[in-house]
Amino acid sequence: MSGIRTLSPGSWYGRIERSQTIGGVLLSVVDHDRPRSIALHEHVLSYFLLPFAGGYRETHDGVTIEYDPFSIAFHPAGFIHSDEVLGPEKFFAIELQPEWQSRVGHLFDISAWRFELQHGEAVWLAVRLLQSFLQGDLDDGLEVDAVVSEMLGIALRLVDRDRPQRAWVNDVKRLLRENYAERVSLEELGERIGIHPASLSRGFRLDEGVTVGEYLSRVRVQQACRLMTTPGTTLAGVAVACGFADQSHLTRVFKAVTGSAPGVFRDLMEKR
């Protein structure tokens, strides 16, 4: 197809602030200082992309998905798409070097692109990797390899068409994302979607690999990450806005999910 630019490893639209190759992956932090539209293009390498300040829209074959800060997407090599950067934005890119392609190419079905990584465990694996990257603590290729392998496994499982999926699970996830700041009970969720609470709890865990409570905690932490990139916000205010009982509750859950205390995380993001 004419007019489509192919980007080589480590090449991105925007300014590359920092990059490092370790454990068979190429890591980059890329900055866009203003909104922009990016024409159709593809990348030589498969990659994960985590926006952590600002967001963007991505269109492939007439389908558009909007990614907010601290969501994540996976792209197989040769995935043709266009982008719209919605404002000043920074993102963390994790490119898989050629030795990874045999693990990706024959397993990944590009036609099944409409998978959701936005609110799952892949986000927090990437966030932990980003924190170590920004702090200059990445020196163990085996550790990086293990993290990226787990992220790739999540992506591949989500496009496995042979894996049965309970139709109501997406409804539960939507309700949790819409009501994360409120007190949510299994009884209320079950009543709203017409599923017995015990069946809801078991079925959700089997499909998602986490409990309803764990999923809700991750959604709340995701919102907390976004609020903490806004100047002038207090941790106590973030806790209330995101549905935590208090700042101590925020700190405990946030550290369990991201690996660091919210104050440390906020300081690290502000430096960027």
Tens digit of pLDDT for each residue in 117-140? 656 788 899 999 999 999 888 888
Report, as an integer, the average pLDDT of 231-243: 92
Q: pLDDT class for 155, splitting at 50, 70, 90?
A: confident
Report, as an integer, the average pLDDT of 172-190: 92
Domains of the chain: 5-158 (2.60.120.10), 169-271 (1.10.10.60)
pLDDT recorded at residue 114: 43
Percent of the chain topping pLDDT 70: 88
Question: What's the count of helices (H) and strands (E) in the chain, helices before strands?
Answer: 10, 10
Q: For residue 157, what are the CA distances in angstroms to 108, 110, 152?
A: 10, 14, 9
pLDDT over threshold 60, residue 248: yes
Predicted TM-score (pTM) of this structure: 0.84
* pLDDT averaged over every residue in the chain: 86
Helix (H), strand (E) at residue 225: helix 212-227
Q: How many residues does the chain have?
A: 272
pLDDT over threshold 50, residue 115: no
How many C-beta atoms lie closer than 10 Å to residue 153's C-beta? 12
